[in-house]
């Protein structure tokens, strides 16, 4: 497993995202062992889209990121597409949502749910 500092540079998540994941885990009675899995899948009108789900298993190709007792899991393939990205949770007048600030995304569709990588 790579050095934690190197891992942090590859992907991170904000305090706001950690708080929201912890709250969702509590509200849905998921238990402290549950982790948020962030994956990049093919699809959407721009080519790729993010998937967020809870998982209690760590696979051989997974990388685990931790903050404030909350864990986020990203697989190898997704991590390549998320290099340098940060997961955030935004609570705005128009709604609340997880957002990925991904420096590799060269464009996104009008609805904001999919993105392209140059």
What confidence tens digit (pLDDT) does each residue in 3-43 have?
444 455 689 999 999 999 999 998 887 777 899 999 999 98
pLDDT in tens, 41-61: 998 888 899 999 999 999 999
Domains of the chain: 4-104 (2.60.300.12)
- In this predicted structure, the answer to whether residue 84 has a pLDDT above a threshold of 70 is yes
Return the closest-CA partner of residue 59 out of 80, 78, 84. 78
User: Per-residue pLDDT for 112 more than 80?
Assistant: no
pLDDT above 70 (res 67): yes
User: What percentage of the chain has pLDDT greater than the value 90?
Assistant: 65
- Smallest Cα–Cα separation from 36: which of 17, 10, 60? 17
* pTM (2 d.p.): 0.85
What Cα–Cα distance (Å) separates residue 98 from each residue in 6, 61, 81? Answer: 24, 24, 17
Say which residue, 76 or 4, is predicted with more confidence. Answer: 76
What's the chain's average pLDDT?
A: 88
What is the three-class DSSP state of 100? strand
The helix (H) or strand (E) run that includes residue 15 is helix 15-27
Torsion angle, CA of 116/8/67/42, rounded to 10 degrees? 20
Whether the pLDDT of residue 2 is over 90: the answer is no
Higher local confidence (pLDDT), 113 or 56: 56
DSSP 81: H
């Amino acid at each position: 497993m790579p050095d934690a500092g190197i891992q942090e540079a590859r992907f991170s998540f904000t305090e706001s995202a950690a708080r929201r994941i912890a709250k969702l885990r509590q509200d849905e009675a998921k238990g402290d062992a549950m982790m948020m899995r962030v994956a990049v899948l093919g699809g959407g009108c721009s080519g790729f889209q993010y998937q967020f789900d809870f998982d209690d298993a760590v696979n051989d190709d997974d990388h685990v990121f931790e903050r404030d007792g909350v864990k986020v899991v990203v697989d190898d393939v997704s991590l390549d597409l998320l290099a340098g990205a940060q997961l955030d949770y935004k609570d705005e007048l128009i709604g609340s949502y997880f957002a990925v600030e991904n420096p590799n995304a060269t464009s996104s569709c009008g609805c904001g749910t999919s993105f392209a990588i140059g």
